[in-house]
Amino acid sequence: MRRAYNLRHVVSTSPPWSRYDRLGRLLLENRLMLEIRRLNVSIGGRKILDDCSLTVEDGEVAAIMGPNGAGKSTLAYVIAGRKDYRVESGEVILNGVDLLALEPDERAARGLFLAFQYPIEIPGVATMTFLKATLNAQRKQRGEAELSTPDFMRRVKGAAERLGIKPDMLKRALNVGFSGGEKKRMDILQMALLEPTFCILDETDSGLDIDALRVVADGVNTLRAPHRGFLVITHYQRLLDYIVPDRVHVMAEGRIVKSGGKELALELEKSGYRNYLTDPDQAVA
């Protein structure tokens, strides 16, 4: 089931180095964290990702921007292993492991975390219970001992305080009756507790006011570390003022059409996505 990333295989089947110089360099330096290779994905017969390729290196914060319908959320879900999608071809490799062969929970245990655009409500399950169950499940998968209750409480309380999450929220059922901002903060809290090596933030800014956005961004920024990668999916430049990316990728019509530094985000803010679409009239604001 779990295929190790075969370097020779990649090199031998890759297109000429000139087009993939960055990939080649990363491979040689062994700094590649996430690699998506020629991913083709459809849902209900409709193609959403079209030969999509992307690399994120160790410790990098990459941003994906693009118009609605470009396939950004699909990419996030496919990386995390949601089943509604049909992966026709391609590979998603995280830290040398092909994720596509794994169940979502196995991907999580390998350090993948997805902050949902719309976090899910789970009635009857107290947030605290949920946090403890997930933390211990992941530790178990990694062969680590379960946390003692006091140790667990200490961690949760510390993280909650930093994110401005009130203790009574932890007693309530997970996400049930939470405001949009509270749900997002709850996701960031989980991110802090689970200590993933790679985080995907799917439109984390949607539905947040500026204060909530700052709290969430601060939460993310404190988690930035040399061996933790981020993929920040967003529609607007606004979030990137707070979470400053190392690289910006433009996604349109199911693939990455342009990559650059953080200045690319500013450029997009001015020119919009029209230049990247084959039929600009199809673009939705």
Q: Is 71 in the site for other proteins (CB under 8 A)?
A: no
Stretch that binds other proteins, among 10-18, 49-57, 107-115, 227-235 (CB under 8 A): 107-115
DSSP structure string for 101-116: GS-HHHHHHTTEEEE-
Q: Is 173 in the site for other proteins (CB under 8 A)?
A: yes
* CA 69/CA 74 separation, integer angstroms: 9
CB of 135 to other proteins, least distance (A): 8
Q: Is 109 in the site for other proteins (CB under 8 A)?
A: yes
Q: Which is nearer to other proteins, 83 or 270 (CB)?
A: 83
- How does DSSP classify residue 117? S
Residue with tokens 């990702």: 49
User: At 66, which helix (H) or strand (E)?
Assistant: none
Widest distance between CA atoms in the chain = 58
Q: Is 125 in the site for other proteins (CB under 8 A)?
A: yes
**Contact characters 77-96, other proteins, x per CB under 8 A:** ---xxxxx------------
Distances (CA, A) of 37 to 53, 67, 285: 5, 22, 29
Stretch that binds other proteins, among 16-24, 42-50, 62-70, 127-135 (CB under 8 A): 127-135
CB of 172 to other proteins, least distance (A): 12
Asked if residue 213 lies in contact with residue 239, where contact means CB atoms within 8 angstroms, the answer is yes
Among 104, 180, 181, 272, binds other proteins (CB under 8 A): 104
CB of 86 to other proteins, least distance (A): 11
**Contact characters 136-165, other proteins, x per CB under 8 A:** -xx--x------------------------
Residue among 85, 79, 91 nearest 196 (CA): 79
Asked if residue 223 lies in contact with residue 199, where contact means CB atoms within 8 angstroms, the answer is yes
* CA 2/CA 7 separation, integer angstroms: 15
Residues in the site for other proteins, rule: CB under 8 A?
A: 80-84, 103-105, 107-109, 113-114, 116, 119-120, 122-125, 129-130, 133-134, 137-138, 141, 173, 190, 194
